[in-house]
Amino acid sequence: MSSFFSNRARAEAAKEAAASSSSRKAAAGEGTTRLQPWVEKYRPRDLSEVRSQEHATNTLRRMVNASNLPHLLLYGPPGTGKTSTILALSRELFGPELFSNRVLELNASDERGLSVIRERVKTFAQQALIHAPARASYRERYPCPPFKIIILDEADSLTQDAQSALRRTMEIYSKITRFCLCCNYVSRIIDPVASRCSKFRFKALEGGQAKERIEEILANEQVQYEDGVVERALAVSDGDLRRAINLLQSASRLVGSHADAANGYASKRPKKKTVTDDSDEDMSDAPIPLATAQIKKSDIDEIAAIFPPELADRLIAALHTNKYRTIADEVSGITASGYSANEVLLSLYSKLIYDDMIANDKKNNLAGLFSEMDKRLIDGVDEHLCMLDMCLQIAGTLK
């Protein structure tokens, strides 16, 4: 009771409580960093870190130096750096203190209707500009031009009415607001909107640069992997660097190849010591060796849920027999294993259409067959029956 009235005791108790709270916050922050997706952790912070898009980045950098930015339309395949590029550009323009006030990022695939243009986009475009910091050092590093930036990611998902409303908003507030539209299919952007933007096409990343970037990430995360894993992840992702990175992060967690010791796991693991049967010692703590498993190419195939190449080869061998029972058994086994008809179709397409041993006239017939089957699957037919019909027709074409 006497310690309650002691100022020294109360100060020490408060100090211990503050230290405990700060340690809990630090541990929480460490866990957040540890579990952060790699695509966000290694997202380019400035234009110099964007790979394989030199034409776009060089032009945008000249715009940054001139502090004169038009409306932008960035289009190309997914995972090629469109959103990362415009975010890096915005950081170079406004810096950390102005970024949140001058930049609005929206994903149009989630909010694709007319209401988002009228409410969120128009409201932000109407807002007065927040003055840039007056410090000379800040202004020398960041141009802080007198306009805001609105980023509409996946803008090709906007409805026609929403795009029409966006056109009018772009006209009215062009003096203080710049719009950047990112999309995969530029043909889905209406002409009145597209004509008001400077267009930049983002190409699929080149294999060498994409491989270099992924190997850099795996080295930083101290992930163990066998030869050919990076190439396999890139092939499965079809040029989508974001998907390749996500696949490898999932695989590292699946097989336990991630270097947990580098992230602080080792210090928190219980330590045990092995004691022989005739020993008088009590059981005590001793370090446990960390897992040294490697990511394998089969792990990538499993996580990506793609049709395994060996099963595709076995199915093609069955097709060459042109026997109904053999083909039907293979198709039934594939269906029972849970593989989708779309994955089987894509695998057969890539193997048969590019097979030099198949005559061109047969390839023409196969291309038409694959197109018809793809349409049926989109229409929602039974996958097992569609796959069986497709395989039987392929067998008839190949004989």
pLDDT in tens, 367-393: 999 999 999 999 999 999 999 999 999
Asked if the model's pLDDT at residue 331 lies above 90, the reply is yes
Q: 249, 299 in Cβ contact below 8 A?
A: no
More confident residue, 144 or 261: 144
pLDDT at 261 exceeding the cut of 50: no
Any idea which fold 307-398 has? Zinc Finger, Delta Prime; domain 3 (1.20.272)
- Most confident residue range from 87-91, 105-109, 293-297: 87-91
Q: Which amino acid is at 390?
A: M
pLDDT reading at 2 higher than 50: no
Apex 321 CA angle, 319 and 322, nearest 5: 70
Q: Which residues of 73-102 are buried (b: 16+ CB within 10 A; e: fewer)?
A: bbbbbbbbbbbbbbbbbbbbbbbeebeeeb
Cα–Cα distance measured from residue 326 to residue 391, given in angstroms and rounded to the nearest whole number: 11
pLDDT of 287 reads 41
Give the Cα separation of 87 and 46 in Å (integer): 8
Q: How far apart are CA 340 and CA 216, in angstroms?
A: 33
Radius of gyration of the chain from its Cα atoms, rounded to whole angstroms: 29
Sequence-ordered strand ranges (E) for the chain: 72-75, 103-107, 148-153, 177-183, 198-201
- The C-alpha atoms of residue 180 and residue 84 are separated, in whole angstroms, by 12
pLDDT over 80 at 105, yes or no:
yes
| Right CATH for 207-301 from 3.40.190.10, 1.10.8.60, 3.90.230.10, 3.40.50.261 | 1.10.8.60
**How distant, in Å, are the alpha carbons of 70, 113, 116, 165, 185 from that of 159?**
23, 6, 11, 10, 14
Same fold, 50-201 and 307-398: no
With a CB cutoff of 8 Å and minimum separation 6, the contacts of 382 are none
Give the model confidence (pLDDT) of 213-250 as tens digits: 889 999 998 888 888 889 888 888 887 888 899 999 99
Res 212 pLDDT > 50: yes
What topology is assigned to 50-201 in CATH? Answer: Rossmann fold (3.40.50)
pLDDT above 60: residue 338: yes
**DSSP assignment string, 309-326:** HHHHHHHHHHHHHT-HHH
Predicted confidence at residue 181, as pLDDT, reads 93
Give residue limits of the domains in the chain.
50-201, 207-301, 307-398
Over residues 107-161, the pLDDT tens digits come to: 866 666 677 777 788 888 888 888 888 788 888 888 888 899 999 998 888 888 8
If one compares 382 and 307, the residue with the highest pLDDT of the two is 382
Tokens in use for 271? 């330590």
CA distance 85 to 343: 32
Exposed, middle or buried by CB within 10 Å (0-12, 13-18, 19+), for 137? Answer: exposed
